[in-house]
Amino acid sequence: MSRNDEVATLLEEMADHLEARDVDYKPSVYRRAADSIRAHTVAVETLHETGGEDALTEIDDVGDAIASKTAEYLETGDIGELEELREEMPVEMDALTAVEGVGPKTVASLYEALGVETLDDLEAAAEAGEIREVSGFGPKTEENILENIPFARESRKRSLLGEARPVADRALSFLESQPAVERVDVAGSLRRWRPTIGDVDVLVAGDDGQAVVDAFAGWEAADDVIEAGTSKASVRVDGLRVDLRVVVPAEFGAALQYFTGSKDHNVELRNRAIERDLKVNEYGVFDVSELGSDGSSDESDASGGDDPDAGQRVGERVAGETEESVYEAVGAAWVPPELREDRGELAAATDDALPELVTTADVAGDLHCHTAWSDGEPTVAGLVDAAADFGHDYVAVTDHATGPGMVGGVGLDDEELREQLAEVRAVAADADVDVFAGVEANIGADGSVSVADDVLAELDLVVASPHSALDGDGTDRLLAAIDHPEVDVVGHPTGRLLNQRPGHDVDIERVAGAAADEGVALEINANPNRLDLRSSYVTVAVEAGATIAVDTDAHRPAAFDYVRYGVHTARRGWCEPDDVLNCRDADGVRAFLEG
């Protein structure tokens, strides 16, 4: 964790403690400051060293009081006021507020009434029926809390892809520059682009494992070396565990295949190998037909891995230097890592039926973006220029409309939407890219769309998204929105926020069928907090013939980069370029919108 992250995390905890005590206004000041410090490109310790507290106030939203607390932390390792708050209420604030429906004020009430300090305490109190007895709580709240605890527990163990991928990219470029490294790649869930990541797995090919391990253990980005052996090491970077393994070049492909997983995919691969008298493991593919029945030792257990026992390299080696050779040995084509989830990919790879997956290069534009008209950063002109710089052929301006789920005056009313439309048309007139004038309307709990029909009809593109009432079953409201004649795209259809809330339940077969019939696209929102639709739903949608839109929901130009998370989610959902609306050129998109 960088110092900026550490300070931001502490300020957020202070905000929670103050909110728990019903303090007005200050909590939001602390949270805004925390966001700005986290996003600030200069390290707080550098500012502090060069210009003391004054320099710290150069960060947006950081005033004297917060600058002084930041300086205190940098100088003493603590913030006295936070220590006092913690002493007064010794709760695991972060863990408890991770439970959906539990905010700082709930934490305070349950601490005072029942002495709840930890997730375990919370669970015990709910199971014992004690929470329903506390004033302001009831059986329904208690039930919700109990239901949401496992999700909170799980989410605290896994990092977002959007946090882990940048760490992995840094690890790769560091290792690539090391002389002892011949090849390097990520493996594990990260290479499969799962939306959340347990740890980062990095694999190196090299003949001098110790030299690679030594370099890695000395990597300046590593906050902590967890372990370091002769061919394996683990370090912690920004709170994430990064596991390194070094193998000899001849075994790199087999190791990469093995450590990419998923486990279920590997089990299926090994079963197919056994039918051919082959043994597949992390060292290679071996012909064991001469060894008799014991030779194909028990590989279906989950124990293999740590022990480079010579017994693992039995029989004649037939493959292993490349991944392609491993798959070829079992009669299959190379399987893109995103598909390796045991969802039929090995059968497809054997029958020459793998999809030609979409790539980021296929994406021609972004159809869900925000400007300063609502809660985005850029002007309309700024967004359009940024889209051109990014290499897009077109961009849609889709600011929030007012309506359910929009707080603090963020959304535009009908009149403001018309005003904005005039500006968008003016910018479009001499822009380097095609510009679609649009809106992100809210889908109400009843499926209504929060903008007048005549305004919607003037716009080129209507994204409709659920932003409120995100529990229970959301199928009917989505079906109603899809039925609306002006809706073109359903944005982040389930409303999930990874590690924060699961979103509403959706009968994806019905929703996808309706979307296909009505010519409405379903979004993969590429924001790494969302990745909504999830890949398993994408597969269902594509099979139903629905069109997918891969959009970043950018609120600032740098967020165009999120497109890769969306594209890889699409790939995990077996999407080809033809399935994706914004892989079409601008005329193709126009035809879809008008159709």
DSSP-derived 3-state class of residue 340 = coil
Which partner, ligand DGT, Zn ion, Ca ion, none, binds residue 519 by CB below 5 to 8 Å per kind?
none
Measured CA to CA, the distance from residue 35 to residue 2 in angstroms comes to 14
If the CB atoms of residues 465 and 582 are measured against Zn ion, the closer one turns out to be 465
| Residue nearest ligand DGT (C-beta atom) | 261
Q: Which of 72, 147, 163, 199 binds Ca ion (CB under 5 A)?
A: 199
- If one asks whether residue 312 binds ligand DGT (CB under 6 A), the answer comes out as no
103 binds ligand DGT (CB under 6 A): no
Q: Nearest approach, Cβ of 201 to ligand DGT (angstroms)?
A: 5
Q: Which residues contact 124 (CB under 8 A, 6 or more apart)?
A: none
- Segment 224 to 283, residues that bind Ca ion, using CB under 5 A: 243
Q: Provide the Cα torsion 52, 56, 62, 64; round to 10°.
A: 10
Q: Please, how many CA atoms are within 13 Å of residue 134, restricted to the half-sphere of its CB? A: 22
Binding residue (CB under 6 A) for ligand DGT from 27, 104, 209, 261: 261
How far apart are alpha carbons 446 and 152 in whole angstroms? 29
Integer Cα distance of 270 and 497 in angstroms:
36
> Which of 198, 295, 382, 519 touches ligand DGT (CB under 6 A)?
198
* 156 contacts ligand DGT (rule: CB under 6 A): no
Does 450 help bind ligand DGT (rule: CB under 6 A)?
no
| Cβ proximity to Zn ion, 159 vs 465, nearer residue | 465
* 345 is a contact residue toward ligand DGT (CB under 6 A): no
266 touches ligand DGT (CB under 6 A): yes
Q: Give the per-residue contact string, 167-196, with ligand DGT (x = CB under 6 A; - = no).
A: ---------------------xx----x--
Q: How far is the CB of 247 from ligand DGT (least distance, A)?
A: 13
| C-beta closer to Ca ion: residue 198 or 304 | 198
Binding positions for Ca ion, 486-545, rule CB under 5 A? none
The CA distance from 480 to 490, in Å, is: 11
CB nearer Ca ion, residue 106 or residue 189: 189
Nearer to ligand DGT, 137 or 193 (CB): 193
Q: How far is the CB of 420 from Zn ion (least distance, A)?
A: 17
Which residues are at the interface with Zn ion (CB under 5 A)?
465
Alpha-carbon distance values, 321 to 127, 247, 254, 283, 328 (Å): 54, 11, 7, 9, 12
Residue 229, SS3? coil
For residue 172, what are its two tokens? 């790769």
Smallest separation, CB 194 to Zn ion (Å): 23
Rounded to whole angstroms, the Cα distance separating 121 from 139 reads: 17
- Is 201 a binder of Ca ion (CB under 5 A)? yes
CA 595/CA 581 separation, integer angstroms: 13
List helix spans (H) across 466-562: 475-483, 508-518, 535-543
User: Smaller CB distance to ligand DGT: residue 243 or 486?
Assistant: 243
Complex with ligand DGT: residue 256 or 395, whichever CB lies closer:
256
Q: What are phi and psi of 357, to 5 degrees?
A: -65, 150
| Identity of the residue, 199 or 321, whose beta carbon is nearer to Ca ion in the bound complex | 199
Q: Which of residues 319-338 bind ligand DGT (CB under 6 A)?
A: none
Spatial neighbors of 342 by CB under 8 A, at least 6 apart, are 262, 264, 265, 267, 268
How distant is the alpha carbon of residue 343 from its chain centre? Answer: 21
Q: Which of 197, 280, 285, 490 binds ligand DGT (CB under 6 A)?
A: 197
Pick left, alpha or beta for residue 115 (phi over 0 → left; psi -120 to 50 → alpha; otherwise beta). left
Q: 266 or 525: whose CB is closer to ligand DGT?
A: 266
Closest approach of Cβ 196 to ligand DGT, in Å?
7
Nearer residue to Ca ion within complex by CB, 158 or 313: 158
CA torsion through residues 541, 542, 547, 551, sign: positive
Q: Is residue 201 close enough to count as binding ligand DGT by CB under 6 A? A: yes
Binding ligand DGT (rule: CB under 6 A), the pick from 136, 140, 302, 429 is 302
Q: Which residue has its beta carbon closest to Ca ion?
A: 188
Strand 196-197 relative to strand 278-281, pairing: unpaired
CA trace torsion 8, 13, 18, 22 (10° rounding): 120
d(CA 284, CA 288): 12
Smallest distance from Ca ion to CB 255, Å: 13
559 Cβ contact partners less than 8 Å away, ≥ 6 residues apart: 527, 552, 553
| 342 lies in the binding site for ligand DGT (CB under 6 A) | no
Q: Site map for ligand DGT, 512-551, x if CB under 6 A? A: ----------------------------------------
Binding site for ligand DGT (CB under 6 A): 188-189, 194, 197-199, 201, 258-259, 261-263, 266, 302, 304-305
